[in-house]
Amino acid sequence: MLHCDDNRGMTDSYPDDEISVAIPAPPSAADRFDTLSLDPKLLRAVAESGYVTMTPIQAKAIPIVLAGRDVMGAAQTGTGKTAAFSLPLLQRMLKHENTSMSPARHPVRALCLAPTRELADQVANNVKAYAKHTLLRVACVFGGIDMKPQTAELKAGVEVLIATPGRLLDHIEAKNCVLNQLEYVVLDEADRMLDIGFLPDLQRILSYLPKQRQTLLFSATFSPEIRRLSQSYLQDPVLVEVARPNATATNVEQRFYSVSDDDKRRAVQQIMKSRSLTQALVFVNSKLGAARLARSFERDGFKTNALHGDKSQDERLKALAAFKRGEVDLLVATDVAARGLDIVDLPGVFNFDVPFNAEDYIHRIGRTGRAGASGLAVTLVARDDMRLVSDIEKLIKKKIELEPLDFDDERPRRPRRSWEEEAVVEAAVATPRSRVEPRAPADPFFDKPYEPTATTTPAWEGKAAAPAAPRSISPNIKPRKKVAALLGGTKTPA
């Protein structure tokens, strides 16, 4: 495996090998897109998107992908990983562009797998923007919506397919998608796909693909499971790292406040006011908690929306679009929104709940401070969250200082008792009390003693029982007809 970082070129990562491969790092003059060997149509689309210089991950990864090598790219969120793999793949696929209307002339050449629907939709929009001056077709398929429009688009032929694993398997089983001519595979945010249980789906999908292909794996973090996955499916990959693994962005101000659970909502309101934040993304750990917190913030006067897995795909896309347009002040979300979403100029992120998985902390705060902008990430820590904070410390390798938060509108509190009063209260608490059963309301009729009535005689001392009445014949039984004895009837006794 080759290794590339900021300070040196790419060298073989196995020191025991006798042959050492050295590939020089891109020179500083290559920080502009127009210095790359990209087609003018792609450079024009990049310029129209407003990009002139490359980010570090783009400057290091694009030449390697153009050379046809497999890549493991590790970079912080918001550093342009999408362009780092989409531009060189589009450049290599330009040889296949044609004007034919036949679907057979437009087979799937490149496949990008993303863990969430929102990330897949975002990657598809970026790839379509880069490929808009070419004849290459781009499609995106994900769950939560009807399959029929996706089926029609796939059967018409596409060269670049962005998909979530579950919906792609649905189309493969329905024979809407054939991948036997695929040349390039991208696993975006692969660690997140493993976290949410997509490993069996990934293995099934990769089994359908040709063995001879170029595979790219990009993520902000690389766990041991991801490295084992790369050993199975990547061929001699080049490891491209532009920051220390599991590092947080340096342009994001990280603050940790010690706050009780009951005061967390007040803390968000105060920080929004004191920092003059116009918008913020609030992360919680559960879908039910997201819905409840959104309703609470609505009552507090904020324009709020919720984003979680129980909402339909249409509702999720509308909520995200309204937030990007600035129509919503607070977007309360679960970790479904923590990976890869690009929200321009988002000033702040709140971790209302400390994430259970420490790596999710890196992705949560990566929603702010994107593309070099500054941002604020606030984590509200309750007493029960100290173990989770310790896990974050181990991951980012930094000491976390908890700060107290003084509220402007302090609630009136009871005066503190003196030590004599405290002793009296403790003694009263320690003294066992006899349990007093609740008493029903008094009723004079039931409370008075029993008084027997003189005229009352028991039933067994009364009159003799009357003889039982003869049993009457049921009206449903018909009496027998009398038949003469000569005709076989019974003889009546004299």
Return the SS3 of 323: helix
Per-residue pLDDT at 467: 59
Q: Structure tokens of 326?
A: 């600035």
Residues 198, 258, single domain; the answer is no
Q: What is the pLDDT of residues 263-301, one digit of tens each?
A: 999 999 999 988 888 889 999 998 888 889 999 999 988
For residues 249 and 287, the model is more confident at: 287
pTM: 0.61
Q: What pLDDT score does 451 carry?
A: 73
Say which range, 319-328, 354-363, 370-379, has the weakest mean pLDDT. 370-379
Q: What are phi and psi of 459, to 5 degrees?
A: -65, -30
For 117-166, the pLDDT digits (tens) are 888 888 999 999 999 999 999 999 998 888 999 999 999 999 999 999 99
| Chain mean pLDDT for the chain | 79
∠ CA 344-348-349 to the nearest 5 degrees? 105
Q: Are residues 314 and 173 in the same domain?
A: no
3-class DSSP state of 281: strand
Does position 172 have pLDDT exceeding 50, yes or no? Answer: yes
Q: State which residues form the domain around 59.
A: 2-241
Q: What is the DSSP string of 189-241?
A: THHHHHHTT-HHHHHHHHHTS-SS-EEEEEES---HHHHHHHHHH-SS-EEEE
Last-in-domain residue among 342, 370, 404: 404
The answer to whether the beta carbons of residues 91 and 66 sit under 8 Å apart is yes
Q: Name the residue among 186, 159, 154, 182 with its Cα closest to residue 170.
A: 154
Task: Please check whether residues 286 and 171 belong to one and the same domain.
Answer: no
CB-side exposure of 203: number of CA atoms within 13 Å? 8
pLDDT > 70 in the chain, percent: 73
Query: Are both 154 and 266 inside the same structural domain?
Result: no
Within this chain, do residues 52 and 172 fall inside the same structural domain, yes or no? yes
Per residue in 27-50, pLDDT (tens digit) is 445 578 888 888 999 999 999 988
In a domain, 14, yes or no: yes
Last residue of a domain, one of 183, 209, 241: 241
Is 458 part of a structural domain of the chain?
A: no
Report the 10 Å Cβ neighbour count for 345. 13
Domain assignment of residue 190, yes or no: yes
Task: Indicate if 150 and 219 belong to the same structural domain.
Answer: yes
CB-based burial label for 439 (10 Å; 0-12, 13-18, 19+): exposed
408 Cβ contact partners less than 8 Å away, ≥ 6 residues apart: 270
Stretch among 113-122, 123-132, 208-217, 236-245 having the lowest mean pLDDT = 236-245
Share above pLDDT 90 across residues of the chain, in percent, rounded to a whole number: 30
Same domain, 45 and 166: yes
CATH number where 381 lies: 3.40.50.300
Instruction: Answer with the one of 196, 211, 241 that is the final residue of a domain.
Output: 241
Contact 318, 306 (CB under 8 A): no
What's the pLDDT tens digit per position in 403-440?
Answer: 888 877 655 444 555 555 656 656 665 555 555 556 66
Cβ distance 307 to 332 under 8 Å? yes
Same domain, 260 and 236: no
Question: What pLDDT is stored for residue 26 in this prediction?
Answer: 44
* Cα distance between the two ends of the chain: 126
* Residue 13: pLDDT band with limits 50, 70, 90: very low
Tell me whether residue 313 is in a domain: yes
- Which of these, 275, 298, 268, 263, lies nearest to 410 by C-alpha position? 263
| pLDDT digits 0-9 by tens, 72-130 | 887 666 677 888 899 999 999 999 999 999 999 999 999 999 888 888 888 999 999 99
Number of domains making up the chain:
2
